[in-house]
Amino acid sequence: MSKNRHLRDLNSLSPSIFDNTSFSGSTSTWTSSGNTIQGIGSLTGKAIKALGHVTLRGLDRVIMYPRIRSILSKFPHTDAQAAKIDGIEEIYDIVLELSSPEFYSGSIRRAALNVLLRQINRGHTHKLEKALHHDSAELEVFLRLLEECSKMPEINDVIINNFPFGSSFPAILLPKTTIQFMCRIAQKSERGCRAVLNVGYYRLLISVGEENLPMSDLAEVYRTVLSISTRPGVQFQTSRVEAIHFLARSLSPLRPRFIKTLELWDASDLKSLVGMVLENTTPHGNLLLSDVMLSTLALLRHIGVNSAEGKRKMFEAGYLDIALHLERLQHPIREYMDEFEVVLNILRLNFCPPYTEGERNQAVDVFLFQLANDHQYLFQSLVSWTTTEIEELLRTLVDKLRVIIISESREMYNNVAPHLVTFIAKNALYDPKICEAIIGAGLLNTLCSQDEENDSMKSLIIDILFV
């Protein structure tokens, strides 16, 4: 299987590996085609190939089968049990090479493959994963074999009929366990990630069907795809784009099962997803702007709706980053009332859970962008608010306006101020409490200091003073 690593001398392994099986083998030297081969008990892959198939058929049953049977008797085992088996690393090296499609007879290959498939189906693959990471080529060959077995579980090489070592049961590799195994391989190293992608991870995942995977496993699958989508380096460019589009298809349209699955992610995973979406929804990005970003907002809102922990994950992941990004791209979220209610609730006094200063600042920015786009309906959402809550909102807006003025962002100020005036005109004249809130927040002073010659502003101030 590997060009650099071959079957080790079976006689050199710990005696416990063989369960006290007695061996007889020559220590003489065999010579074939110019190659020197140590005695039959130490045949390597190349040596067995050099002997030829006719000779091998006579030798493997007499010499190799008892030894191989003893090795294979160590399977299946749990990861905990494997740690207590003498020479377990060497055993996996041997079994992997015996499963090679090049060097060994069909019965030996099937025997070795059978125990590996059963081990994968049981999910105890720590030692196997470690053994595979010795060699990139060997890893990819083995993963391709698994992919084929998963697509066609009925193939003869995987179903062991009349197994010469006394077993007659079939070993069918379950597609979902293949996916799980590949997930673990991909997450361990860059080499493993490339190998998994090269053998068609996405095709296999699609063929298996998400509905056939438990949500905990599916969460791991999506976590793996996400890690691929964010890997740096030119060599991952194609894989990154594939991963991005795979996630985009899951995000839009947003499916309930996908939401339930990503509820199992922690905040850092969700933040990576948001980062990927923001990076790839630029004018030169890979994703459709509105669909994917709005779906990501909806996903995070669904995650945060049921618990304080979920809501904290929602904001730590970057819900407001996406909302603000949409506003800057002139794609206001007010058209999607559920999303805008989230922003308003952040600005509402004593609304639980408590929000950080940074989150409140981002929410104010979203609110101001809405004002700048002349969204008069903003204030309809404040009907149920108390005077104190409105005054607190206005104080926050005044503080933000002062920052805008200090930074000389006149264009932004000119866009926002008229709509605040409209708010005053519509509410303060008919509600003394709102008028008190406006004056208490210092809103009029701030606006007037920038619009001294604005006749409508002067008229408005006079009207308010007479209320």
Mean pLDDT across 72-89 = 89
Which single residue is written with the structure tokens 């080529």?
A: 137
**pLDDT of res. 299:** 93
pLDDT surpassing 70 at residue 198 = yes
Residue 401 burial (C-beta neighbours within 10 Å; 0-12, 13-18, 19+)? buried
User: What sign does the dihedral 412-414-418-424 (CA atoms) show?
Assistant: positive
The helix/strand/coil state of 183 is: helix
For 308-342, letters b (16+ CB in 10 Å) and e give: eeebebbbbbbbbbbbbbbbeeeebbbebeebbeb
Question: What burial class does residue 29 get, using C-beta atoms within 10 Å of its C-beta: 0-12 exposed, 13-18 middle, 19+ buried?
Answer: exposed
Average pLDDT of span 75-82: 90
Please state the rounded mean pLDDT for residues 378-401. Answer: 76
Q: How many CA atoms lie within 13 A of 74 on its CB side?
A: 26
Sign of the Cα torsion 45, 51, 57, 60 reads: negative
26's enclosing H/E stretch is: none
pLDDT tens, residue by residue, 319-369: 999 988 888 777 767 666 678 788 888 888 766 667 888 888 888 888 877
Distance of CA 112 to the CA centre of its chain: 33
pLDDT, position 319: 93
Q: In whole angstroms, how large is the CA radius of gyration of the chain?
A: 34
Q: Is the pLDDT of residue 313 over 90?
A: yes
d(CA 311, CA 455) in angstroms, rounded, equals 46
The answer to whether residue 375 scores a pLDDT higher than 70 is: no
Q: How confident is the model at residue 8 (pLDDT cuts 50, 70, 90)?
A: very low
* Helix intervals (H) in 20-73: 45-51, 53-59, 65-72
Is residue 207 pLDDT above 50, yes or no? yes
- DSSP one-letter string for 227-282: HHHT--SGGGHHHHHHHHHHHHHHHTTT-HHHHHHHTTS-HHHHHHHHHHHHHHSS
- Bigger pLDDT: 126 vs 64: 126
Cβ(100)–Cβ(144) below 8 Å: no
Q: Which residues does 321 contact at the CB level (< 8 Å), separation at least 6? A: 274, 278, 362
> Which has the closest alpha carbon to 117: 160, 82, 84, 79?
160
Give the per-residue pLDDT at 33: 32
pTM of the model as a whole:
0.63
Number of H helices, E strands in the chain: 25, 2
Confidence of residue 166 (pLDDT cuts 50, 70, 90): very low
Alpha-carbon distance 6 to 343, whole Å? Answer: 63
Contacts of residue 380, Cβ cutoff 8 Å, sequence gap at least 6: none
Written as one string, the DSSP assignment of 343-409 is HHHHHSTTPSSP--HHHHHHHHHHHHHHHHTT-GGGGGGGTTS-HHHHHHHHHHHHHHHHHHHHTT-
| 114-123, 157-166, 230-239, 374-383: range with highest mean pLDDT | 114-123
pLDDT in tens, 255-301: 888 899 999 999 999 999 999 888 877 655 544 556 788 889 999 99
